């Protein structure tokens, strides 16, 4: 049985953690298969959006500490997509149950996070003599207020879905069991937009995140110019004039 399931649904690639009996905890094999799946997504021109989810009662309860205790410590494992992975296509995470430790760090790599009412998100590493090592100390303060990020990182206490939505950590909260459906709805909305424009907008937002405003504006201008002369730009203009839905080609 594969520990990461991959299924293509039109332009959307569904990537699902598949260790439900282990609460989808992360080990070297999971991280390796995650990296392969997302590398395929990044390189395949027919795929425009990825949806990441977890099978079973939890999205991901963190690192598999039983594997760590047997000698394959987390610092020796591949980083999945938490390090040295760059992709300008949108990624949507569908979250439920526990989203803890490495699971939170994995969810932070997504551009959109949809949770259901059962979702609890936390970074408990400091409770066990560790610290966060797969991006939480860097990504979390860029997404939520700094004091809230510090509270989560330094106490290790989880927060519920309602608070996560209030602070912007979750884009949407839905009834229990509905996160994956809402994530696919969002993915289809993204697929209906011009794919090259979506990718350049994502790139501009991330590259400009910590740039001074004048530098960020230059980044935006340079990336927007890359769309000039594309078939999709011409199609968008024609579709607007003809009052019809555009048919995108991603070129």
Is 125 a known active-site residue?
yes
Cβ(109)–Cβ(81) below 8 Å: yes
Of the residues 21, 36, 105, 151, only one is catalytic, namely 105
Tokens of 188: 């289809």
HEC states along 158-169? CEEHHHHHHCCC
Residues 83, 134: contact at Cβ < 8 Å? yes
Total residue length of the chain = 251
46, 84, 86, 125: the catalytic one is 125
The burial class, CB within 10 Å (0-12 / 13-18 / 19+), for 46 is exposed
* 41: nearest Cα among 78, 87, 80: 87
| DSSP H or E stretch at residue 180 | helix 179-191
Annotated catalytic residue 5: no
Catalytic residues: 105, 125
């Amino acid at each position: 049985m594969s520990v990461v399931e991959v299924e293509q649904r039109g332009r959307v690639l569904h990537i699902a953690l598949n260790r439900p009996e282990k609460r989808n905890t992360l080990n070297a094999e999971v991280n390796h298969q995650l990296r392969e799946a997302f590398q395929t997504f990044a390189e395949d021109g027919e795929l425009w959006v990825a949806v990441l989810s977890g099978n079973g009662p939890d999205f991901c309860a963190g690192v598999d500490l039983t594997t760590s205790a047997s000698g394959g410590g987390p610092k020796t494992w591949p980083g999945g997509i938490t390090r040295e992975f760059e992709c300008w296509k949108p990624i949507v995470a569908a979250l439920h149950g526990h989203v803890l430790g490495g699971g939170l760090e994995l969810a932070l790599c997504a551009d959109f996070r949809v949770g259901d009412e059962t979702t609890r998100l936390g970074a408990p590493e400091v409770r066990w003599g560790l610290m966060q090592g797969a991006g939480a100390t860097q990504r979390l303060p860029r997404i939520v207020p700094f004091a809230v990020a510090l509270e989560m990182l330094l106490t290790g206490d989880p927060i519920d879905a309602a608070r996560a939505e209030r602070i912007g950590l979750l884009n949407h909260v839905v009834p229990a069991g509905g996160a994956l459906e809402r994530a696919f709805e969002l993915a289809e909305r993204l697929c209906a937009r011009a794919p090259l424009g979506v990718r350049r907008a994502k790139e501009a937002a991330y590259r400009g995140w910590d740039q001074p405003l004048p530098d960020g504006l230059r980044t935006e201008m340079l990336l927007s110019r890359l769309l000039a002369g594309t078939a999709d730009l011409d199609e968008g203009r024609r579709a607007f004039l003809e009052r019809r839905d555009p048919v995108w080609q991603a070129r």
